[in-house]
Amino acid sequence: MRCGGIDHQLFSLGFLLILVGFFTVFAGAILLALKGGGTAEGGGVVFIGPIPIAFGTSKKAAFIALIIGLIVFLLFLALAS
């Protein structure tokens, strides 16, 4: 069934994956707070067009984000052609 040009099942799967991601991050934050001690690092990737720009709280986090961004970029190139 198509809904507004988007396959309903594909939309539901994407929405479910986003919710699972939010709950995973939330559970990790709660467990880290309850456990006490420890450190947390974070990073992310912003795409301007097809070009990934990575950032992070440490060089290691930024590097991991950059690798993930490059993988997504290569997948984009492979699927676009």
**45 with 77, same domain?**
yes
- Nearby residues of 20 by Cβ (< 8 Å), 6 or more positions away: none
**78 with 47, same domain?**
yes
Which range marks the domain in which residue 20 is found?
1-38
Task: Indicate if the alpha-carbon torsion angle 61, 67, 73, 75 is positive or negative.
Answer: negative
**32 with 50, same domain?**
no
**48 with 76, same domain?**
yes
pLDDT band at 1 (very low <50, low <70, confident <90, very high): low
What is the model's pTM?
0.57
**31 with 65, same domain?**
no
**45 with 76, same domain?**
yes
**29 with 3, same domain?**
yes
Tell me the three state secondary structure of residue 39: coil
pLDDT tens digit string along 33-79? Answer: 888 767 778 899 999 988 889 999 999 999 999 999 999 899 888 88
